[in-house]
Amino acid sequence: MNQLIRLGIEAGPLLVFFIANARLGIKMGTACFMAATVVSLLLSWHRERKLPIMPIVGCAFVTVFGGLTLWLDNDIFIKIKPTVVNLSFAAVLFGGAVLRRNLLKPLLGTMLVLDETGWRILGVRWAGFFLILAVANEVVWRSLSTDAWVDFKVFGIMPLTLLFSALQMPLILKHQIAPAE
């Protein structure tokens, strides 16, 4: 039950965005997305009394790019947000790999205990995946309608991310460190 509530809190803003866009258009969808993202962050704080870094970063990006979309009356900003976010994540993870600092470990270290090789490989794979998502977002928003882009954002990126995560299980199992007795 807790996992379902957490999923609802995390995925809720995307669902709000999808519904609001379908009924009210991209600008009202963006405004609703911004509000739902802030509410999601507050609900997360209320439930867990802490804010993980990723929801904070996500809220900041939604607020900035959504705000630009509304202020400048131009939907390009909300459309490029996933590109900028994914390129940023890819750059941070690839940069960490070059500097031999795994920046994924601080984010997932409480959920996963891997050896250094496992963390390095997982970080590079996620960086590559983020790069692919950035390119896919650019192709979709530039070549399809706004509604098709919203559909891709809501029903494409999430399943692709879940599939990619599941495909990492063999690597995780191979490099997992057994907890100390």
Task: Give the residue from 165, 24, 28 showing the smallest Cα distance to 108.
Answer: 165
- How confident is the model over 59-86, as pLDDT tens digits? 999 999 999 999 999 999 999 999 999 9
- How confident is the model over 91-121, as pLDDT tens digits? 999 999 999 888 888 777 667 888 999 999 9
Tell me the pLDDT band of 1, cut-offs 50, 70 and 90. low
The Cα–Cα gap between 170 and 22 comes to 39
Mean pLDDT, residues 40-57 taken together: 84
Give the domain ranges of the chain: 1-73, 75-176
